[in-house]
Structure 1
Amino acid sequence: MTDTNNYDIVLVVTGTVVVLLMALFSVSFIFYYHRRQRESTREKQAMQADFERELLQTQLETQNHTLLQVAEELHDNVGQLLTVAVMRLNQLEDEVEGETAQQSVQQTREVIDTIIADVRSLAKTLDHNTVRRFGFLPSLTLELERIQRVGRVQTQLQTTGEPFSLGEQAETVLLRIAQESLNNAMKHAHASMLIVLVDYQPDSFTLTVSDNGDGFRVDEVNARLIDRAGSGLSNLQRRAKLLHGACAIESRPDAGTRVCVTLPRNSVN
C-alpha cells in the first residue's frame, strides 16, 4: 500500500514537473518569438531607413552635380556674354552724342553690372564647393545678399551661440534647405520680409527660416491628393532626417510660415 502511495506521489510530482516544464517552455518560446519579431521589425525599419538615406544621398549628389553644371554655365557663358555687353556699351558711350543718350547708356551699363554681380552670386550659392571653401554662414549670407539686391524682399540674418563646423555634407544640405525655404516664401507666400535665425548650442544646431507671407494650413497641404501635392515640405523633412534631425513647419493663413530644422550636434560630425 505504501509502495502504491509512493508510486502515485511520484507520478503526480513527475506530471507536475512535466507540466511546469512545458509551461515554462511555452512561455519562453512565446517571449523568444515576440523578441525575434521585435528584432526583425527593428531590422526592417533600420534597413528601410538606410535605404531611404542612401536614396536621398544619391538624389543630393545628383542635385549637387546638376547645380554645379548650372553654376559653371552661368559663370563661364552667361557671365562672359554680359561682360561683352558691358564692353560694347563702353564703346557705344564714346560713339553716341547728347546727354540723354549718354545717360541711357550709363543706366544700361549699371543694370548689366548688377546682373553680372547677381549671376556671380547665384553661381557661387549653387556650387557646393562654396560651402567647402567658406562654410555655411558665409554661403548663407551670400544667398541673402543676392535676394536683398533684387529689391522686392528684405532679408535679415540673426546668429546666436558660438559657431562650429557641421561638416561639409551637413552644411551643404542645410544650405539647400534654407534656399528651398526662402524660394518657397518668395514664390508662393509673396513674403516681403525673410528672417533667418542660426542658433549654435553646445549639443544642438537650429536653423529657422521665417517669413511674413500668406501662410497656409499645414494639415490641408499634407492631405492633398497626389495630383495636387507638391514635394517641397516632404523634401525639407527628408533632408533634415538625412542629418538625423527634425524639421518642424508652422504656418497659418495670413500669419506667415516658420521652418525650423534642429540637429543634434554629435550626429552631424
Structure 2
Amino acid sequence: MSEVDNVTPQTTQPSARHFNRLFLITLVFIAVLITVAEVVTQLQTRREAERVMIIGMASAQRHHSQRIVNKILQLSRPSEHARFQNNLTEIKNLFAEFETNHLHIEQGTVPGYPIMLQNSDSVKIRFQFLKPYYFGFRESVQRIIQEAEQVSSPEEFTSTADLTALLANETPFLENMDAVVQQYTRETLDNVDTTRLIEFTIYLFTLLALVFAGWYILRPAINKFEAVIVQLVEAETRTATTNRKLLSLNRALKETRQQLFDATRQQYQQQMDEQKLRTSYLVAGQEEERKRLSRELHDGIGQMLTAIKLQVESFERSLNGKEKETKSFVVLKDLIAQTIQETRNVSNNLMPTVLSDFGLIPAVKMLADSHDKNSKTDITFHTNLSNVRLDKSVEIGVYRIAQEAVSNALRHAEPTQITIDLFEKDNYLHLIVNDDGKGFRIHRSKKEDTKRPSQGIHNMHERAALINGKFKISSAPDKGTKVQVSIPFKLVQQEYEYTKVNAG
C-alpha cells in the first residue's frame, strides 16, 4: 500500500514539458492581446490625430473668413487708402488659402501630409448645409477683388452691394462651420470611448490569462521549486564545507606560488645585475685598453715618427740645394707629418685627454670642432651647463654615445648639419644628437636590417643602460635621425684619476 502511495503522485503529477507548454501558450496569448491592443491604439490614435488636424483647419477657416472681411472693410476706409494695395494683396493671399483649406477639409485631406480621412455622413450633410453660404461668401470676395483691381485710385473703390452680400453670408457660414467642427469633435469623442472600451476588454482578457498562468502553471511550479530549494540548501551546506577545505588549500597554494615567484624574480634580478656588472667590467676593460693603445701610440709610434721627421729634415739640409732630391724630401716630410697627425687623431679618439683633464663639456666641444674641421658637415654644440664634473662612468658613457652618434651620422646619413645639445632639466642630464641626413626606418625586417649596420645603435643602448640612462632613437627616411639619452644628474666633487695621456 505504501508503494502504491509513493507511485501514484509521480504518475499523476504534470511533467516539466507540460508546464513549459502551458506557460508558452499563455505567453503567446498575452503577447497577441498586447499586440492587438497596441495596433488598435496606434490606428485609433493616428485616425484621431488626423481628425484633430482637420478640426484645426476647420477652426482656422472661421479665423480666415473674419480676417478677409476685416481687410475688405479696410479697403473702403479713407484712413487705409495709403495701404490699399497692401490690403488687396493680403486679401488675395488669405482668400487663396481660404479656398484651398475648404477644399481639403471637404475631401478629408491636409496639405503636406499623407492623410485621407473618410468623412462621415453627418459631416457630409453639414457640408451640404454649408455650401450655399460658402459659395455666396466666395463669389462676393471674388467680385470685390475684381472691382478693387479695376479702380485707378483707392478713392474710386465702392462695393456696397457686394460687401452687404459678403456680410450676409459670413454669419451663417461661421455657424455652419461651427456645426462641422462640433460634429468632428463628437465623432472624435465617440472614437475615444470606443478605444477605451477595446483597451479595457483586452485588459480584462490579459488579467484572466495572468490568473490562469498563476493558478495552473506558477503554483505547481513553485511547489516543485520548493522541493528543489530544500535539496539545494542541503547541497549548499555540503559544498560550503568542501569550499572551506578548498580555500585553505588554495591559500597555501597561493603562498607557495608567491614564494616561487619572489624567488624567480630575485634570481632574475640577480642574473640581470650580474650581466650588467660583467658588461660594466667589459666596458671598463675596453676603456683601459683604449688608454693603453693611446699611450703607446703617443709614446711609441708618435715619438718614433717625430724622430724620423727630424732626421729627414737634417738630411734635407745636407743635400745643399739639389732640386730633385729636395722635392722628394718635401713630399716625404708631408707624408710623415700627415702620419703624425693621424696618429694623434687616433690616439685622441681612443682616449681624449681633455675628457680626463677638463671634463665632459670641453671634450664634447672638441669632438664637434675636430669633426667640423675634417668634413663638409656643419657640427654645432650647445649646452646650458658650466664646466661641472660628473661621475667618471657618466662622463665616459655620455662622451662615447655622442662620439658614436656623430660617427654614425657622418658615415651613413650624409648630413649637411649635425647638432649636439647637452643640457640639464628636471634633475636629468640630456644628450641630444640631431642630423638632417638620409635617415632610416626604425621598425624593419631582418632582411632589411642587414642593409645597415646596427652595432653602433646597440653599443649606444648598452652604454646608456650601464649608466642608468634612458636611450631613444627616432628616424625616418629623408627625415634625419635623432639620438636622445637622459641620465639622472649628479654632480661629483671628488678628484678624478684618469690616466693622463697627451695625444699631441
The structure 1 residue matched to 2:249, chosen from 20, 26, 40, is: 26
- Would you say the 8 A contact 2:368–2:379 is kept in 1? yes
Name the structure 2 match of 1:47: 270
Structural mapping, 1:74-85, within 5 Å: 74-85=297-308
- Is the contact between residue 125 and residue 139 of structure 1 (CA under 8 Å) also seen in structure 2? no
Change beyond 3 A, Cα 1:192–1:229: closer
Q: Which residue of 1 aligns with 2:372?
A: 148
Identity of aligned residues (%): 24
Q: Provide the alpha-carbon RMSD of the alignment.
A: 3.8
Following the alignment from structure 2 to structure 1, what is the Cα–Cα distance between the partners of residues 360 and 436? Answer: 24
In structure 2, give the amino acid aligned to 1:75.
H
Bigger radius of gyration among the two: 2
* Candidates 294, 303, 306, aligned match of 1:71: 294
* Partner SS, residue 248 of structure 1: strand
Once residues 460 and 448 of structure 2 are traced to their aligned partners in structure 1, the CA distance between those partners, rounded to angstroms, is 17
Alignment gaps of 5+ in structure 2? 1-236, 494-504
Provide, for residues 119-159 of structure 1, a one-character-per-residue CA deviation record: whole Å limited to 9, x for no partner. 43542342276533321112222222221231333221110
The aligned counterpart of 1:11 is: none
CA distance in 2, matches of 1:73, 1:154: 32
Q: Kindly tell me: are residues 263 and 233 of structure 1, through their superposed partners in 2, closer, same or farther at Cα, counting changes over 3 Å?
A: same
The CA deviation at 1:213 is 2.0
Which is further off, 95-104 or 183-192? 95-104
Mean Cα deviation higher: 127-136 or 58-67: 127-136
- 1:198 alignment partner in structure 2: 422
State the secondary structure of the residue aligned to 1:218. Answer: coil
Cα distance in 2, alignment partners of residues 268 and 155 from structure 1: 29
Q: Partner of 1:56 in structure 2?
A: 279
**2: distance between equivalents of 1:223 and 1:245?**
30
Contact 1:156–1:194 at 8 Å: present in 2 too?
yes
Relative to its length, the structure with more helix (as a share) is 2
* Structure 2 residue matching 1:184: 3-state secondary structure: helix
Amino acid at match of 2:395: E
Q: Counterparts of 1:180 and 1:25 in 2: how far apart (Å)?
A: 59
For 1:267 and 1:215, locate their aligned partners in 2 and report how far apart those are by CA, in whole Å.
35
**Corresponding residue of 2:466:** 242
CA distance in 2, matches of 1:156, 1:228: 26
Distance across 1 between alignment mates of 2:374 and 2:336: 13
Correspondence 1:120 to 2:344: yes
Preserved CA contact (<8 Å) 1:243 1:268: no
CA distance in 2, matches of 1:47, 1:223: 35
TM-score computed with the length of structure 2 as normaliser: 0.43
Letter in 2 for 1:43: Q
**Alpha-carbon separation, structure 2, partners of 1:135 and 1:26:** 62
Asked which structure has the greater RCO (Cα within 8 Å, sep 6+), the reply is: 1
1:211-222 equivalences in 2 (<5 Å) = 211-220=435-444
Choose the corresponding residue for 1:187, options 388, 411, 414: 411
Q: 1:82 to 1:155 in 2, by over 3 A?
A: farther
Relative distance call for 1:81 and 1:264 in structure 2 (3 A) is same
- Report the 3-state secondary structure (helix = DSSP H, G, I; strand = E; otherwise coil) of the residue aligned with 2:413: coil
Amino acid at match of 1:216: F
1:122–1:149 CA distance, 2 compared to 1 (3 A): farther
CA distance 1:260–1:108, shift in 2 (3 Å): farther
Q: Is the 8 A contact 2:294 2:350 kept in 1?
A: yes
Corresponding letter in the other structure for 1:176 = R
Q: Which runs of 5+ in 1 are unaligned?
A: 1-13
Paired position in structure 1 for 2:224: none
User: Number of residue pairs matched?
Assistant: 257
Match of 1:5?
none
- Normalized per residue, the structure richer in strand is 1
- Contact 2:433/2:483 (<8 A) preserved: yes
